[in-house]
């Protein structure tokens, strides 16, 4: 099996970056040769998250067909949100929580979408189904992605599955969801930096 | 929750008919109000299968938006293989084993595709994951769908998941796969009818 790249959408948010890392960990455990990359630099919120858990930012790629024949998409499926040369590679896996549109393959594939608040929620379910342990640091990252996508479980897209995943990930990562979540969302709006100066 | 219709593709094969029935049973157990229907009459092979298990053919529909707002697709996703007024309803679930093309939704949905030989194989996995018992008659129908799609596990699309599902379903239904499978495939080619006359 040749190597695959895993990535989220352009202008990545925390879920796009973290879901790629989480699915790369999952697929590696399953025996796939994969690397999590990103289609852009982390935003302020994601930078806060990566720093908090001492996790490096993923390598940024502009094209993929120059290095692989196969890719796996997370947190998106629409071609215009994806890598520019998507039509030159095979898509073998998609894990997503958005509507499906402008997505087409020539071969059968593994596609898993659920109408929940965050891709990292679906990935939490996948780890559970496989009885695969989620490492402490990865649990903290996945928790951050769900907090980000659901605005601390307050967005109208929030489901019971998101709430259950947050409960489980917070326990593994030993994190106080409210205080960490507010600090993280503040970092994203740059309110933290501003109020430091005031 | 209002009622949904579940159906496979036009010119239905055994998997299209059986997967709709199997997913309807699954969703009913999960609390959904659903009915398995079909976009055409059963072919000769499927008629043999339904007769063998004393199972009625599903109601045939030409349009769906006149009776429901929501549908669930099995064994297909491409609009041109689906019901003519698909664009007038919401698709809330898709269970399929084909490439994805000409498929688009306006809302997030549950989509499960796997690159295996038959939709009924994916459904067998779903029953297992939920620890939901498969009734004896339904196991026989699902076994028939996998035999049909994989030509008795001989087609190049056959995977280990299909072989494992066949093993499990044959045990539940107490069926000899080889002898039943050959009789069933023969019924589909009308060889059985011909050789009766010869
Ligand atoms: Mn996103
Ligand atoms: Mn997301
Ligand atoms: Mn079919
Ligand atoms: Mn099929």
CB pairs under 8 A between A and B: 67
pLDDT at A40: 98
The answer on pLDDT for B175 being more than 70 is yes
The token duo for B172 is: 């539940």
Flag whether residue A108 sits within 8 Å of chain B, measured between CB atoms: yes
- In this prediction, residue A1 carries a pLDDT of 67
Contact yes or no for A99 and B108 at CB 8 A: yes
Element holding A110 (H helix, E strand): strand A110-113
Nearest to A103 among B100, B114, B129 (CB): B100
Average pLDDT, chain B: 95
* Per-residue pLDDT at B191 exceeds 70: no
B60, containing H or E segment: strand B59-60
Cβ contact (<8 Å) for A109 and B115? yes
Q: How far is CA B158 from CA A116, A133, B146, B149, B154, in A?
A: 32, 31, 9, 9, 7
Nearest Cα of chain B lies from the Cα of A94 at a distance, in angstroms, of 10
Asked if the Cβ–Cβ distance from A111 to B106 is below 8 Å, we say: no
The predicted model scores a pTM of 0.94
Structure tokens at A190: 């740059």
pLDDT at B118: 98
Q: Does B111 touch chain A (CB under 8 A)?
A: yes
Q: What is the pLDDT of residues B20-56, one digit of tens each?
A: 999 999 999 999 999 999 999 999 999 999 999 999 9
**In tens digits, what is the pLDDT along chain A, a chain of 198 residues?**
699 999 999 999 999 999 999 999 999 999 999 999 999 999 999 999 999 999 999 999 999 999 999 999 999 999 999 999 999 999 999 999 999 999 999 999 999 999 999 999 999 999 999 999 999 999 999 999 999 999 999 999 999 999 999 999 999 999 999 999 999 999 998 665 554 444
Report CA-CA distances (Å) from B21 to B124, B145, B150: 13, 11, 19
Stretch 73-102 of chain A: residues touching chain B, C-beta under 8 Å: 92, 97-102
Residues of B in contact with A99 (CB under 8 A): 104-109
Contact in structure between A99 and B106 (CB atoms under 8 Å): yes
The pLDDT, as a whole number, for residue B89 is: 98
Rg for chain B (alpha carbons), in Å? 16
pLDDT of residue A198: 41
Kindly list the residues from chain A whose CB atom is less than 8 angstroms away from the CB atom of residue B112: 111-113
CA diameter of chain A: 56
Q: Is A104 on the interface with B (CB under 8 A)?
A: yes
pLDDT in tens, A84-136: 999 999 999 999 999 999 999 999 999 999 999 999 999 999 999 999 999 99
B130 contact partners, CB below 8 Å, separation of at least 6: B26, B30
- Write down the pLDDT at residue B198: 41
Say what the pLDDT of residue B156 is.
96
The answer to whether residue A198 neighbours chain B at the CB level (below 8 Å) is no
Q: Which residue among B98, B101, B113 places its CB closest to the CB of A110?
A: B113
CA distance A91 to chain B (A): 10
Q: How far is the CA of A21 from the CAs of A7, A14, A142, A160, in angstroms?
A: 8, 11, 9, 24
Which residue of chain A has the CA closest to B157? A108
Q: What is the ipTM of this complex?
A: 0.93
Smallest CA–CA distance, residue A50 to chain B, in Å, is 28
Pairing state of beta strands B4-7 and B70-74?
parallel
Task: Put the strands of the sheet holding A90-96 in their side by side order.
Answer: A59-60, A34-38, A4-7, A70-74, A90-96, A110-113, B110-113, B90-96, B70-74, B4-7, B34-38, B59-60
Check if A129 contacts B (Cβ < 8 Å).
Answer: yes
Query: What's the gap in Å between the CA of B8 and the closest CA on chain A?
Result: 17
Q: For residue A107, which residues of chain B lie inside 8 Å, CB to CB?
A: 99, 115
* pLDDT recorded at residue B196: 47
pLDDT digits (tens, 9 = 90+) for B93-131: 999 999 999 999 999 999 999 999 999 999 999 999 999
pLDDT at A68: 98
- Identify the pLDDT of residue A191: 60
Over residues B129-153, the pLDDT tens digits come to 999 999 999 999 999 999 999 999 9
In chain A, what is the straight-line distance between the N-terminal and C-terminal CA atoms, in Å? 55
Beta carbons of A109 and B129 less than 8 Å apart: no
**Which chain A residues touch B114 with a CB distance below 8 Å?**
108, 110
The whole-angstrom separation of Cα B43 and Cα B49 is 10
Q: Is the pLDDT of residue B88 over 50?
A: yes
Give the integer Cα–Cα distance in Å for B5 and B85: 13
Secondary structure of B71-109 in HEC code, one letter for each residue: EEEECCCCHHHCCCCHHHCEEEEEEECCCCCCCCCCCCC
Question: Within 13 Å and on the Cβ side, how many CA atoms surround A120?
Answer: 29
Please tell me which of the candidates B97, B106, B108 has its beta carbon nearest to residue A108: B97
Give the rounded distance of the alpha carbon of A104 from its chain centre: 21
The C-alpha atoms of residue A156 and residue A162 are separated, in whole angstroms, by: 12
């Amino acid at each position: 099996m040749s190597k695959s790249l895993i990535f989220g959408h352009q202008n990545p948010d925390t879920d796009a970056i973290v879901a790629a890392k989480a699915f790369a960990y999952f697929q590696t455990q399953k025996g796939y040769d994969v690397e999590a990359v990103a289609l852009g630099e982390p935003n302020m919120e994601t930078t806060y998250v990566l720093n908090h858990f001492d996790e490096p930012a993923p390598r940024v790629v502009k094209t993929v067909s120059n290095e692989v024949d196969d890719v796996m998409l997370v947190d998106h499926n629409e071609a215009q949100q994806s890598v520019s040369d998507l039509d030159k590679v095979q898509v073998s896996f998609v894990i997503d929580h958005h509507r499906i549109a402008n997505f087409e393959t020539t071969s059968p594939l593994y596609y898993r979408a659920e109408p929940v608040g965050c891709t990292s929620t679906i990935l939490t379910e996948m780890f559970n189904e496989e009885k695969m342990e989620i490492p402490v640091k990865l649990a903290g990252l996945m928790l951050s992605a769900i907090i980000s996508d659901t605005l601390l479980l307050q967005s109208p897209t929030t489901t019971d599955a998101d709430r259950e995943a947050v409960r489980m990930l917070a326990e593994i990562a030993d994190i106080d969801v409210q205080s960490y979540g507010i600090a993280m969302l503040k970092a994203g709006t740059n309110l933290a930096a501003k109020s430091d100066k005031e």
